[in-house]
Structure 1
């Protein structure tokens, strides 16, 4: 079975206010050509098909066109929902669409029901919100490792009955993976991190959620996002993964480069040097993040920079010798500081150095987790008042 593994399309995403839909449409063109040229049997998208729970009409139209063209190649197309998708909306009419070769898995009920392609069982595990699916999965562990372990136990039980080689799609943060600044945090602190051993016994695990293509275990890989969505992805190779699995298991995995509509460049230095140095010529056609190190902030800096770098979209100032602040999600993960840690630090600060007690810390854990779930729930609802008033 020849399969293309991709994920994190984030259709409808913007890059510093500039819509990425044309770049995403170019990726769809590339993907259709790849599937047809390589005579691919299955195309899998491991979550975050859309960038938001309520995608815009042109975004929905692009997905409709993409899956139609991909199914027309003769390949089976398998989509699973990610933490950015509305599971209910993405899964609409899934039973009917399955008859045409488009298989959507967005609920717990479909976890142990594989799509069998050329003698290989493909299990699509959607993003699992622990507090919402733990009971349905029969586990008391309301954590990402707990619910994904329960889901994989159900998968392994079905594999044992079928006796087929298997591929598992999952949308999760697996230990050993390197995040970027463009993923949304999915839990408080480190309780989102899942060990690769959760996928033991699987011939290939096709992961989604992290936007950098990477291998975290022998047969456990992230395809990464096909389009860059933050400057932290500068220097990444955007790829799709061409995977071969047969009755003996995983045969090979090959990276196929995705098209890059516009590259990313990071520039740092004094304004006058950046404007004059010929070494920066390649950045003139790239999305550019500029960090100015002038001791005194230059007037009209962005306007002057755009005269040479018309696609400069972010300007930072770090005067020589000034300290820098760690603030991004990826940086927080590297420094092991969570939102709860920050809240506890603040509590201790305002109380004159009296640290938060265990009970107080638990209150903060519950509050931060409730806020995160409320935000996700708000993304997945359209208020009736908004519909009546015509609000977007």
Structure 2
């Protein structure tokens, strides 16, 4: 029978959303902070339980989470161990173990299961999991130890022994022709591993964390997987809403599946007002309510549209109609109450707004192709809005 593994990463427990008002931020954070407890309950309730649970870094959003959250997290992991499941945790860039106040320093001796803290890639095990020997290879992120400019090129090779061989890293991969998304500004907050070196190590499966989306990468005989965070942190980091489960059997390729689980969605929706009858607050609200369903999401609604529709649309009324269907709602009004005719009228003014309109009109006529109009309208909306606020 294959070894079944639940692969988690980037849960970021303790994350506080800066975009939410104080009246909602606490409740939303508490929902997110229950994710590991939910995952544990889910795993233990399955007809065929996982044999192994791995956490590939950034379990916490910071190295020193509140003690109550740390104890709750350890209690959840201990439930797995007490039920006979193997548990392996590695730290990431956000919950780096070398921080003097790190949760892994304070509670390392009590941490349920195997806690990987070695800064250099090392071999561990074997663990006897589901009647099979599982050999582990991993390293913990250590700030300043291996910057992005010096990726890891030496990894412990796959042991010649029979069994299942699993890598576990909070890392980004380099040297790949395609597949990896661009690194952000915090690129030194993760290990960097040369893709060719990882392929050469010959592991069966590599459980990765760091990239905030579901991503699979084939490296010869090795399958490397980013599960992505289950719950999102922002509209641009919305989470996956899935657990990743993998079946591992010696001599066979890993078999992956994603299990959908309840989450509060982080949705970013763009609507062009005036298209397909969506020309009023009521028609837009009715259209969205049909899409949102029973789960009250965190919703960002971006409104675009031409001048005539934008001027008639009442964004305040729309927010009042939609708010009851949302946990949180923000509306970004990009409707542009301007067209070529209005620009020509404003250009006759002998003030700063007139000069701006004349310049915009000239640009409009020179570069006003269909694909450029939204950009020009956005520029006008921002600039003219600022001027109108300043003018008497």
TM-score normalised per structure 1: 0.66
Deviation (angstroms), 1:71: 2.0
Higher alpha-carbon Rg: 2
Q: If each structure's helix is expressed as a fraction of its own residues, which one has the higher value?
A: 1
- 1:316 correspondence with 2:367: no
Q: Which of these residues, 305, 326, 339, is aligned with residue 319 of structure 2?
A: 305
Over residues 346-381 of structure 1, what are the superposed CA-to-partner deviations in whole Å (9 max), with x where a residue is unaligned? xxxxxxxxxxxxxxxxxxxxxxxxxxxxxxxxxxxx
Q: Which runs of 5+ in 1 are unaligned?
A: 135-141, 325-392
Deviation (angstroms), 1:93: 6.0
Q: Which of these residues, 258, 280, 304, is aligned with residue 261 of structure 2?
A: 258
Distance of aligned partners of 1:286 and 1:261 in 2 relative to their CA distance in 1, 3 Å threshold: closer
Q: Which of these residues, 36, 50, 53, is aligned with residue 40 of structure 1?
A: 50
Q: Which of these residues, 122, 127, 131, is aligned with residue 136 of structure 2?
A: 122
Q: Which of these residues, 2, 11, 14, is aligned with residue 16 of structure 2?
A: 14
Over residues 334-353 of structure 1, what are the superposed CA-to-partner deviations in whole Å (9 max), with x where a residue is unaligned? xxxxxxxxxxxxxxxxxxxx
Q: What secondary structure sits across from 2:236 in the alignment?
A: helix
Over residues 12-66 of structure 1, what are the superposed CA-to-partner deviations in whole Å (9 max), with x where a residue is unaligned? 1234323333144155324332245223221001000111223234432431232
Counterparts of 2:288 and 2:316 in 1: how far apart (Å)? 16
Q: What secondary structure sits across from 2:105 in the alignment?
A: coil
Counterparts of 2:250 and 2:137 in 1: how far apart (Å)? 16
- 1:229 correspondence with 2:242: no
Q: What secondary structure sits across from 1:112 in the alignment?
A: strand
Residues matched between the structures, number? 303
TM-score normalised per structure 2: 0.66
Q: Which of these residues, 244, 248, 253, is aligned with residue 247 of structure 2?
A: 244
Task: Judge conservation of contact 2:234–2:266 (CA < 8 Å) in 1.
Answer: no
Deviation (angstroms), 1:314: 3.4
Task: Judge conservation of contact 1:269–1:293 (CA < 8 Å) in 2.
Answer: yes
Greater RCO (Cα-Cα under 8 Å, separation 6 or more): 1
Counterparts of 2:40 and 2:159 in 1: how far apart (Å)? 33
Counterparts of 1:10 and 1:240 in 2: how far apart (Å)? 15
Counterparts of 2:335 and 2:257 in 1: how far apart (Å)? 44
Distance of aligned partners of 1:160 and 1:193 in 2 relative to their CA distance in 1, 3 Å threshold: closer
Q: Which runs of 5+ in 2 are unaligned?
A: 337-372, 377-392
- Between stretches 26-35 and 252-261, larger displacement belongs to 26-35
Q: Which of these residues, 133, 148, 162, is aligned with residue 143 of structure 1?
A: 148
